[in-house]
Amino acid sequence: MSDRAETRGTAEGAPDVGELTPPDRTLMGPGPSDVHPRVLRAMSTPLVGHLDPSFVEMMDEVQELLRYAFRTDNRWTIPVSGTGSAAMEAAIGNLVEPGDTMLVPTNGYFGGRMASMAGRAGGEVVEVDAPWGEPLDPADVAAAFDEHQPDVFGFVHAETSTGVLQPEVPELTAIAHDHDAYVIADTVTSLGGVELRVDDWNVDVAYSGPQKCLSCPPGASPLTLNDRAMDKVLDRETDARSWYLDLSLLEGYWGDDRSYHHTAPITNVYALREALRLVAEEGIEKRWARHREVAGDLKAGLQELGLEMNAPDDYWLPSLNAVRVPDGVDDAAVIDHLIAEYDLEIAGGLGDLAGDIWRIGCMGHSARPKNVEYLLAALEDALA
Ligand code: PLP
């Protein structure tokens, strides 16, 4: 029993867990990233109802701010209640109808999750191959279209499992549109951190998470669809399998009616509003440039320590730096040392790259020179 709990006491027979005192970590892993104090302050402001006129106004503001961050004019731009996977499932589960074919990538962990969600939505899944750690080649995507004629094509713009940024997005969307298919982009680790232009690049649907380059706690996750994609959703012959994520129902709450669908995570919407306000103050293009610059210093510092990046410079992802673990070094021991001695979080590899890489995030409020200097000094110590 902690001292504090002893003084406050708990009712007899009730669990005594003491007051919440989480450690004060520096978050440089694959997300969540450090949260800006202004976002934390927004989260401690009074709760209003999810249909309160003041909240309805806030919903409009969040939608407007999200459009700015996504670089889109899409009317259907909302925060989905839930984590990035909820926005991902809202995208895939609504776009993919039973009998549709979805083309997914094999070059990372999150392409695998797309496949799983498309299958559960009743879709037939076909794949375009690239090794983990490499982007998709447009020629392979074109060949996969010729072979399978998919209805929906999903790709991961910023693959958090490999540290690879998918280049040539407009080429990929052009191939899909030449085949009358819809494009879903996973922008969880790119929104607000690396260049992303939903409208200019002709992306039909993009989803994201708030806890990466927006530096906001998880809970309300960005999603945008153009009219063409939303028309497909509204014209479905069968209902989407998830009631909760059915966009034709959510439209009642986030569209013009503002009628009850579910109780929105109000505090998370406050947080997202403040996080997006910070993006608007900084300016989206300046924010992309800051990520490149600060992460560029991180990359140079890692290379000075003798470490090798997993992704070549051409498709290096500033927000997620995947670094090869040197021969003879225990990756988990280094991660544990950074947490124990420095209160500093980084992560190991996932899936095919487990044990081979460390994943060092440089996202949002964590993408600051001070964090980079701290991380490099701590890592040098851990490797000594
Ligand atoms: N897609 C990518 C690329 C991710 O990095 C993540 C989370 O790390 C997700 C999807 C799923 O998001 P969440 O963990 O918030 O559900």
Task: Please choose, from the candidates 236, 228, 188, 234, the residue with its C-alpha nearest in 3D space to the C-alpha of residue 212.
Answer: 188
CA of 245 to the centre of ligand 1 (A): 17
Write the pLDDT tens digit of every residue in 14-52: 999 999 999 999 999 999 999 999 999 999 999 999 999
Give the C-alpha separation, 124 to 115, whole Å: 9
Q: What is the pLDDT of residue 5?
A: 42
Strand intervals (E) in the chain = 26-27, 76-82, 101-105, 124-128, 152-156, 158-159, 164-165, 182-186, 205-207, 219-225, 320-324, 344-345, 347-348, 357-361
Among 117, 187, 189, say which to mutate for ligand 1: greatest number of ligand atoms within 8 Å of CB: 189
Q: What is the pLDDT of residue 351?
A: 87
pLDDT at 183 over 80: yes
Ligand 1 atom closest to 221 (CA): 15
Ligand 1 atom closest to 31 (CA): 8
For the segment 77-92, the average pLDDT, to the nearest whole number, is 98
Identify any residues that bridge with 345 across adjacent strands, giving them in sequence order.
Answer: 27
Strands 219-225 and 205-207: antiparallel
Give residue for tokens 């409020």.
365
Q: What is the pLDDT of residue 1?
A: 42
Write the pLDDT tens digit of every residue in 60-69: 999 999 999 9
Q: What is the pLDDT of residue 7?
A: 54
User: How many CA atoms lie less than 13 Å away from 222 in the CB half-sphere?
Assistant: 38
Confidence of residue 352 (pLDDT cuts 50, 70, 90): confident
- Decide: 365 and 36 in contact? Cβ < 8 Å: yes
pLDDT at 2 over 80: no
CA of 178 to the centre of ligand 1 (A): 29
Among 188, 268, 359, say which to mutate for ligand 1: greatest number of ligand atoms within 8 Å of CB: 188
Write the pLDDT tens digit of every residue in 273-306: 999 999 999 999 999 999 999 999 999 999 999 9
Ligand 1 lining (C-beta closer than 6 Å): 30-31, 83-85, 88, 110, 156, 160, 186, 188-189, 209, 218
The residue whose C-alpha atom lies closest to atom 13 belonging to ligand 1 is 84
Give the C-alpha separation, 180 to 226, whole Å: 15
Q: What is the pLDDT of residue 9?
A: 85
pLDDT at 326 over 60: yes
ipTM above 0.95, yes or no: yes
Average pLDDT, the chain: 96
Write the pLDDT tens digit of every residue in 213-234: 999 999 999 999 999 999 999 9
Give CA separation, 302 vs 89, 212, 242, 340, 354, in Å.
36, 21, 44, 21, 20
CA of 84 to the centre of ligand 1 (A): 5
For the segment 266-275, the average pLDDT, to the nearest whole number, is 98
